[in-house]
Amino acid sequence: MAHFTPTASLRPARRALCLTMLASALAGPMAVAQPVGSTPASATNTRTVQAARLDTSQVFPVRDAPARVRARNVSRLSAEVNGTLQQWTADVGATVRRGQLLARVDPRDQELGLQRARAALEASQARLALAQAQLQRARELTAQGFLSPEALAQRETEVALVRTETDANRAQLATAQRQLDKTVLRAPFDAEVVERLAQTGEAVAPGSLLYVLAETGAVELDATVNPLDAASLPRARRLRFEANGQAMPVRLLRIGSTMSEPARTRTARLAFEAGSEAASPGTAGRLVWEDARPHLPPQWLARRNGVIGVFVIDGDTPTSTVRFRPLPGAQEGRVVPVPSDWPGSTLMVVGGQAALQDGQTVTVTRASN
């Protein structure tokens, strides 16, 4: 068998090969050779996200609240004098005009009272005329020295007393006339008769309910609003009342600050726009409006370290850095008002944000609107 003896020129190469094999054995299975020209794993940790300008993708949420049409005035008309009801002229469902006769109470007692007051006034006026004539004569006699100043003063006092009595009787006559006027019940405004409790021949007294009237042509909308939505109502867009398949434009009159119990809601009053059709009192429906404040869609939101916020693009290049911006008070699944200091040109991450972290480098593509 022939033996090969390495020459001196091959010994260094063989020694290097042995050392390489020994190093590989010592490194164990964790050592993986990197192919020539490959990129380190840390350099490939970029994600592709979709972005859009804030002013082209923000939303204006539609809100609604239960509402009912109510007459501005619903009056309960009662008798104001004692007597027997002689006549009623309008029944339930009838439309009446302002000043129209509704009911009449027997006026004979009030007519007698008016006659007594008129007679008392005429009597006091006659006594006043006599007292004034006597005073004039007393002044003449006093000037001639035939009557003392004390007697003249007495005549002047008599005239003052009779004049006071005459004034009181004149006021009593006016009161009697007003009592007579109260025997007639008239409509205080254009209205529809909701209830009629007047019955011919019944004895009535002051406070006896005769009619319930609902004013027509002056209705208002009464809405029950969630406190979270109340702030958007004064600046609402396309405010309308929807009922029976119709949408009627309305405008806000006022919104109460007190919350009702136990629903914890606030009451808003609205009026139908001039020139538009108004629903009848009692009509129930929904008050619908668009929030004028721009909002962030809920699908943009992300939670990081227990805080809800959104990711924005820092810069406007194909490869950029994302920043996480917290939104105080935000709730998952709900739209969030856009902070007032955010410009419309802000680039928002609208897709691919599920695994993003603050400060991460991303490849940006523009989302189609």
Q: Is the pLDDT of residue 67 over 50?
A: yes
Mean pLDDT of 280-300: 92
Tell me how crowded residue 348 is: count the other CB atoms within 10 A of its CB.
24
> What CATH number labels 75-105+184-215?
2.40.50.100
Mean pLDDT of the residues in the chain: 86
Minimal CA–CA distance to 269: which of 222, 215, 212? Answer: 222
Q: Which of 365, 19, 63, 66 is nearest to 238 (CA)?
A: 63
CATH architecture of 47-59+295-366: Beta Barrel (2.40)
- Non-local (6+) Cβ contacts of 109 within 8 A are 82, 83
Q: Are 265 and 303 in contact (CB under 8 A)?
A: no
What pLDDT shows up at residue 160? 96
CATH node for 108-181: 1.10.287
pLDDT higher than 60, residue 365: yes
Contact 178, 164 (CB under 8 A): no
Most confident of 30-39, 160-169, 249-258, 357-366: 160-169
- 239: confidence class by pLDDT, cuts 50, 70, 90: very high
pLDDT, one tens digit per residue, over 149-179 is: 999 999 999 999 999 999 999 999 999 999 9
Confidence of residue 38 (pLDDT cuts 50, 70, 90): very low
- Enumerate the domain spans of the chain: 47-59+295-366, 63-71+219-290, 75-105+184-215, 108-181
**Residue 14 binned pLDDT confidence (cut-offs 50, 70, 90):** low
Higher-confidence position of 77 and 5: 77
3-class DSSP state for residue 340?
coil
What are the tokens at 197?
Answer: 């409790």
Residue the block writes with tokens 């396309």: 238
CATH H superfamily, domain 63-71+219-290: Efflux pump adaptor protein, beta barrel domain (2.40.30.170)
* pLDDT of 100 strictly over 70: yes
Q: Is the pLDDT of residue 366 over 80?
A: yes
CA angle in degrees (0–180, nearest 5) for 295-298-302: 115
Lowest mean pLDDT among 117-131, 177-191, 228-242: 228-242
Under the banding of pLDDT at 50, 70 and 90, the label for residue 45 is low
Please give the pLDDT value at position 57. Answer: 86
